[in-house]
Amino acid sequence: MVKKEKVKRGKESLASNKEEKQVSLDRNLDHLARSADNILPPPHWPEGVVYLGWHSQPSTKLPSIQHLTFCVAPRLAYEAHPSQIRARQWTEVRTITASTAFIPAFGSSLTTHPAVGQCGLFARKTIPPRTLVVPSYGLVHLAGDEEGDEDAESRYDAAIEADDGTKLGIDATRMGTEARFVNDYRGILQRPNLFFQEWSAPFPKDVLCAKPTLKPPSQIRGLAMYSGAHPISAGTELCVSYGKGWWAARERD
């Protein structure tokens, strides 16, 4: 029994050392990636909007546990790590001109793209199906907090729900990523080619918690835009569905 116990402890020690080495390696690689990349915003980035290159930011009223869940980058090994996403170079921001291709909505009399003069996000190269294309970072806030950090007039606010059922929003009005340039598909494509989807990853053990008494979550989570069931050809504009509620609110404005 004593021998078996020693063998068991030895295996556990080896596993622990291996995990610690992996965490240390991830931390070093992440540090190198951050040092080598100034996280410059893409061309045409709007003045006065903060470009988020690593993760979302918490609002002042966001509970600490939600901060740790939604405002932390995953370990380097995961597809949602920002360094991996940038390395793939799936997208590019372009100014939409009168010659930009589009498919008019049924019954529309438009002869040019409905967003001429604005910017859109386009496939830089062919994007495989069911691929994380661009993360949706922003200001993570409590839903309905109109007297706090939430912008009641925001058109860049995506809803997400915490594990305990708390309703949250990720608002890209004042800070965000290239996802801000993704237009609604209506009047541009026959159907959306990107879709909002949650991602999750184990909580990175090298992240230090500001409150030592707070138990960190087992998983971190976020929103991203993924390609659908079909590849997206290079040069195609990337579009999502904003949803009928968004358009109804816009019509009321």
- Regarding whether 84 and 24 lie in a shared domain, the answer is no
* pLDDT beyond 60 at 15: no
Residue 147 has pLDDT above 50, yes or no: no
Closest by alpha carbon to 210, among 72, 31, 80? 72
pLDDT at 83 (0 to 100):
87
pLDDT tier at 76, thresholds 50, 70, 90: confident
Q: Which residues touch 206 (CB under 8 Å, ≥6 apart)?
A: 23, 24, 26, 27
pLDDT cut 70: percent of the chain above it: 75
Q: Are residues 192 and 138 in the same domain?
A: yes
Check residue 4 and give its pLDDT: 52
Whether 105 and 229 map to the same domain: the answer is yes
Q: In what order do the strands lie in the sheet with 57-58?
A: 57-58, 139-142, 167-171, 157-161
pLDDT tens digits for range 108-126: 888 999 999 999 999 999 9
| Contact between 113 and 98 (Cβ < 8 Å) | yes
Same domain, 91 and 184: yes
* Residue 107: CATH number of its domain: 2.170.270.10
CA distances from 62 to 14, 90, 148 (A): 39, 32, 10
User: pLDDT tier at 135 (50, 70, 90 boundaries)?
Assistant: very high
Q: Residue 149 and residue 66: Cα distance in Å, rounded? A: 15
Same-domain status, 93 and 192: yes
32 and 97 together in one domain: no
The total number of structural domains in the chain stands at 2
- Bigger pLDDT: 37 vs 47: 47
* pTM for this entry: 0.78
Helices marked H in the chain — which ranges? 2-36, 64-70, 82-88, 244-252
State mean pLDDT over 152-178. Answer: 87
- What pLDDT does 44 receive? 87
Tens of pLDDT along 33-45? 444 345 788 888 9
- pLDDT for residue 243: 73
Whole-number pLDDT of residue 106: 79
Most confident of 3-7, 147-151, 170-174: 170-174
Residues 223 and 186 reside in one and the same domain:
yes
* Confidence check: pLDDT of 26 > 80: no
CA distance 64 to 178: 27
Tokens standing for 40? 């410059």
Interior/surface letters 90-110, b for 16+ CB within 10 angstroms, e for the rest? bbbbbebeeebebeeeeeeee
What range does the domain containing 149 cover?
A: 42-252
- Tell me what the pLDDT averaged over the chain comes to: 81
Give per-residue pLDDT as tens, 237-252. Answer: 999 998 754 444 444 4
User: Which pLDDT band, with edges at 50, 70 and 90, does 12 fall under?
Assistant: low
* Shared domain check, 14 and 112: no
Residue 192 near residue 133, CB atoms below 8 Å: no
Which amino acid makes up residue 155? R
Shared-domain flag, residues 85 and 140: yes
